[in-house]
Chain A
Amino acid sequence: MGESAILFKNVSRHFGEVKAVDDVTLEIHDGEFFSMLGPSGSGKTTCLRMIAGFDRPTLGQIFLYGQDVSNLPPYDRSVNTVFQDYALFPHMTVGENIAYGLMIKGLAKDQRKKQVDEMLDLVRLTGFADRKPSQLSGGQRQRVALARALVNHPKVLLLDEPLGALDLKLRQQMQVELKAIQQRVGITFIFVTHDQEEALTMSDRIAVFNLGKIEQVGSPADIYEHPQTSFVAGFVGVSNLIGGEVAKRITGAEDKFSIRPEKIHLSSMDAKADADMYSATGKVRDVVYLGLYTRYLVELDGGGDLVVVEQNLKSTSMDVMKSKGQQTRLMWKKEHISKLGG
């Protein structure tokens, strides 16, 4: 990755007593699909609004391609936003909405029309220019909002939970489409979401936010496979957290660890663990059959619980139910366990 598109230098944003963003330092690269992931109130949207210029940092600086934009108004930044509620102008047609930025720039009408048509093709809404936003479905409005932002060729496109209002099917379809559009136009996308699956699906890199701070920045695989804090381990996917006595018994160290349920394998009591594996014994207390996979809750012999997920590749619901109450040996590769800080 080359140049930095966005640079946060010790940025804080206080609302009265509340530190919505607390001393965040972050670099986002040119051409990257970058996600800010976190629960509501974690500061991710405030960060986005500061990049857009709707909010200004209380402390610190924000750079856009090397230029300090901390105190520039939104209309002086080469950044465009797709809003959570789409924010389409209800009194304008789809075409007028998309052409708005070009009209403000003073582009001639025929040139505007040409670019609007190109954008409508890009978001697959050809021929919709004369409709009103109120005549469109949620997914179509979403595309109009995207086209209205992209037509200005911003250096960075900001997306504020744009898929939140769509139903599951449409959301998954838009995830694929957004990623494809991003690769086609090659603009840096910054995507805010509270949906970990969305972030994992689309992003080149993810920053996980919690309580105004960044917990971890990394690729989706990095974040999922090697969470560095118990918050990340718990927020992104499901994780078993072990520590204290239990951790010492299994690993020999008393630190905090996280292990993903699908990395653990159930085997018979007499199975032998390889040298690169940890193992523990316990009793299956609960079995939940979920079609594609089955979730087991195993009570470890020396205390503590582990959740294990196994795919139902060969087993049927009858088979898996039989394991309830039985003694079992759990094994997993040492590399799949992550030591947590904080």
Chain B
Amino acid sequence: MLSRVSTYLYLRPKLVLALLLVPPLLWFLVIYIGSLISLLVNSFFSLDSFTGQIVREFTLKTYAKLFETSNLQIFARTTIMAALVTIACAALAFPLSYYMARFATPRMKTFLYIGVTLPLWSSYVVRVYSWKLILAQEGIVSWFARIVQLDGLLDWYLSLPIVGGPSLAISSTGVFLVFVYIWLPYMVIPIQTALERVPKSLIEASSDLGAKPAQTFRNVILPLAFPGVIAGSIFTFSLTLGDFIVPQLFGSSAYTIGRAVLTFQGTSNNIPLAAAFTMGPILIMIVYLLIARKLGAFDAL
């Protein structure tokens, strides 16, 4: 029986292809693209502010709302945060990845790989909450600052506008630190992979042609690792743009895109505005990728 099935399939390669592709395509088209289309459609509806009902008629009213100053501020705030987190992640991840790819012994490399990915094994929420303990007013950081007598500096820093707040646990600095912590693995892994793929002979060739180590780094290693940096930054940037938990737990009352979406669709049932807000990060990512392409990030792929 079984052999008859396999013979039947062997003679019909197109049927096999169809059987293989239909489930993922269904998933992709219906659930993935479908929900995006639903978002897009909803973003062109509006909310009747009197009845609280969604008016299913085409309008650009909802999009116009995005351009109100308070909403533009939300976009700016979130994008700047995402950019800073991305830069910090890249700055931390590059030397580590470089060491892992070029110098670490296989054993050390395994150890570091596990070290980098270990946090991903535990729950996101638990890890984020543990940072509460570190950053809170009576937490580890302020306790340590008191010991080394830098609590004055910490207080001064917290008194600054924008970056400061009542404590590190309720400040944009706190949000920044936690973001860098949770997204770092997503930056390390692609950069490390990209660096690993640079053949040793290219580095030798560069130095053979007279380039000092710094010149080799700038002319050969960095350009070849750049796609990895871009891949990592797509993760860190988009994950930061959409996240609502960290800003909720550590931020001040100032909204980010994620929090705004959560509030509009959850609390105020304004699905059209939430949908329009979601189109924001998608657009920002498209612009980001276009810039990355212009910079030649995908040339070496």
Contacts and interface: CB of A to CB of B under 8 A. Distances in A.
Nearest to B204: A54
A1 to B, nearest CB: 26
B299 interface: yes
Given A83-B201, A85-B199, A91-B224, A100 B299 contact: no
A100 B206 contact: yes
A90 interface: yes
Contacts of A148: 209
Interface in A71-128: 73-75, 79-81, 83-85, 87-91, 100-101, 104-105
Given A85-B199, A87-B202, A91-B224, A104 B208 contact: no
Max chain B Cβ within 10 angstroms of own Cβ: one of A73, A91, A152: A91
B216 to A, nearest CB: 8
A52 interface: yes
B201 A91 contact: no
B223 A87 contact: no
Contact of B208 (A52, A84, A91): A52
Given A89-B202, A91-B299, A75 B224 contact: no
Nearest to B205: A87
B220 interface: yes
Given A75-B210, A104-B210, A104-B211, A83 B299 contact: no
B13 to A, nearest CB: 32
Given A89-B220, A90-B224, A91-B299, A83 B204 contact: yes
Given A90-B224, A91-B300, A85 B208 contact: no
Interface string B224-238: 100000000000000
B201 A101 contact: no
Given A91-B223, A91-B224, A75 B202 contact: no
B35 interface: no
A86 to B, nearest CB: 8
B207 interface: yes
A86 B297 CA distance: 24
Contact of A74 (B202, B208, B300): B208
A91 B208 CA distance: 18
Contact of A152 (B201, B210, B224, B296): B210
B204 A87 contact: yes
Contacts of A54: 204, 208
Given A83-B204, A87-B201, A152 B300 contact: no
A134 B210 CA distance: 24
Nearest to A160: B201
B208 A80 contact: yes
A88 B199 CA distance: 10
A81 B208 CA distance: 7
Nearest to B220: A89
B300 A100 contact: no
The 4 tightest CB contacts between A and B, nearest first, are A87-B205, A101-B209, A87-B201, A74-B207
Given A74-B204, A75-B208, A80-B208, 12 more contacts: A53-B207, A73-B207, A75-B210, A81-B205, A85-B199, A85-B201, A87-B202, A91-B224, A100-B206, A104-B209, A148-B209, A152-B209
11 contacts: A75-B211, A79-B208, A83-B204, A83-B205, A87-B201, A89-B206, A90-B224, A91-B296, A100-B206, A104-B209, A105-B210
